[in-house]
Amino acid sequence: MQITEILSRNATEWPNDVALVEINPQELENRHTTWREYSLIESSPVESFRSEITWAQFEEKASRFANFLLSRGYKKGDKVAILLMNSLEWLPIYFGVLRAGCLAVPLNFRYTADEIKYCLELADADALVFGPEFVGRVEQIVDRIPRVRTRLYVGDDCPTFAEPYRSLVAYCSSRLPAIPLTDDDDAAIYFSSGTTGFPKAIVLQHHCLMHSCKVEQNHHGQTKDDVFLCIPPLYHTGAKMHWFGSFLVGGKAVLLKGVKPEWILRAVSEERCTIVWLLVPWAQDILDAIERGDVKLSDYTLDQWRLMHIGAQPVPPALVKRWKSVFPHHDYDTNYGLSESTGPGAVHLGIENTDHVGAIGVAGYGWQTKIIRPDGSEVVPGEVGELAVKGPGVLRCYYKNPEATKEILSDDGWLRTGDMAELRDGFIYLVDRAKDVIITGGENLYPVQIEDFLRAHPAIKDVAVIGLADARLGEIAAAIIEVKEGQTLTEEEVNNFCLDLPRYKRPRKIIFAPVPRNPTGKIEKPKLRKMYGADTLIAQQNGL
């Protein structure tokens, strides 16, 4: 069975059941209306606060978009990029792409215009679907992406360089297109990056997506009655692949556009959510708000909430202990994975193993794991090596990059993760990352991009960017800056210079000091991490 067939089954068995709900609390704040006041208004003018679609409507929207692509001459193997904020359109568009036999290419909504162009070209994208938040960025590159022959705009007031998605697709057939799909057909391209910061295009096949459904449902036991609260962006494998477990059983999902503690708790209460996937800072914000008295648990109906799980970054054991003290009836799990493994679940702690918080866990459903030396041989328990995983979710390849594929993927299907780990008492613990990627609030930062930007400042001689432990975000980017002799530079001047960087890439800490390099000219980042306390992150991961 392909993942597109699950949608057809859901629409047949539960056509009138709600499949997706979109909630935008910011609309209420903009109109000075509280959530509670809104719920008491029979005919509310705040139409965009909450909307929903059924499984039958989901199916219809996906088929209409698939037929639109086919009517435009798109064929099996063509690539369709998706650049949207979370919305009710996102998933029907994704499934419409798959139904047409095309490859879905989700794009990070934080990409700059040049990064969007780079990824479109890297993936050989033939079409682009984008929302109002990206008009300016797309306009900057529209004349430089000739291969993208169709540009569809999802929203009001369509720009002149695009076509209106809703009015065009509305007139297409809602019949299921007769495009044969197999497990080994390519389904999607996601993007990843190493320490260089240049994205690689990860090719996932249909069996990868299907297996991720089974992994998530096996790990967390979703039933038709469960309601999944989805907060992270859908372009990310983490959010979508966690939702796949609910999708497999026809459960409702709620797309919450906002991360304020009161919004999360209200969504759980009003929508009767039973499963919530959080990032570390969101969980901490909820606990802090409760402790400060900013939110009162007695104001919400939370008895049905059974599972809170976290992924995308190291989880401090103290946070889980604190959470369990406030929500003692919650099951807890953490999941490890990477885009190259179709997202989370290659390794997971397991809800029965909360006494081992600090470990990333054991091999997930259908997965194998091993820890290896540089020569590929397995380490002995307690010895540090590189974590490798093998299973149905492993990528087929990096698109058009056989050299990079060969570096991480063995002939017998083992994927090198780049993460250093050790085995203790049967559980896998991460001890360091072979890569220098900084994970802050679940998002990857690539130090070389920030370093290259800062080196353009006329007063900067050298710079190194490292991750420092942060109680809320997991890590923050710290810039160690060596100033040119005879020059002066202040922290305020650096911060002002960095205003041209996207906000999430700006260093949160500035340190003026020499930048050490080894005899071959490489920055000695391990030394810097030790000097400035980054090793405390490792201690947090291991529960020390």
> What CATH number should be reported for the domain whose range is 3-311?
3.40.50.12780
Name the average pLDDT for the chain: 90
Provide the whole-model pTM.
0.84
pLDDT one-digit tens code per residue, 140-163: 999 999 999 999 999 999 999 999
Q: Token pair of 438, please?
A: 């900084």
Task: Provide Rg for the chain, Cα atoms.
Answer: 23
Q: Is 438-541 a domain of CATH 3.30.70.580?
A: no
Rounded to whole angstroms, how far apart are CA atoms 86 and 232?
A: 8
On the question of pLDDT at 117 being above 70, the answer is: yes
Rounded to whole angstroms, how far apart are CA atoms 235 and 491?
A: 34
Bridging pattern class, strands 331-338 and 368-372: unpaired
On the question of pLDDT at 543 being above 80, the answer is: no
User: Mean pLDDT, to the nearest integer, of 351-362?
Assistant: 92
Rounded to whole angstroms, how far apart are CA atoms 434 and 421?
A: 10
pLDDT one-digit tens code per residue, 368-393: 999 999 999 999 988 888 999 999 99
Instruction: Provide the percentage of residues in the chain whose pLDDT is more than 70.
Output: 92
Class of domain 333-433: mainly beta
Q: What residue segments make up the domains of the chain, in order of their start?
A: 3-311, 333-433, 438-541
Bridging pattern class, strands 150-153 and 163-164: parallel
User: Mean pLDDT, to the nearest integer, of 445-460?
Assistant: 85
Rounded to whole angstroms, how far apart are CA atoms 422 and 307?
A: 28
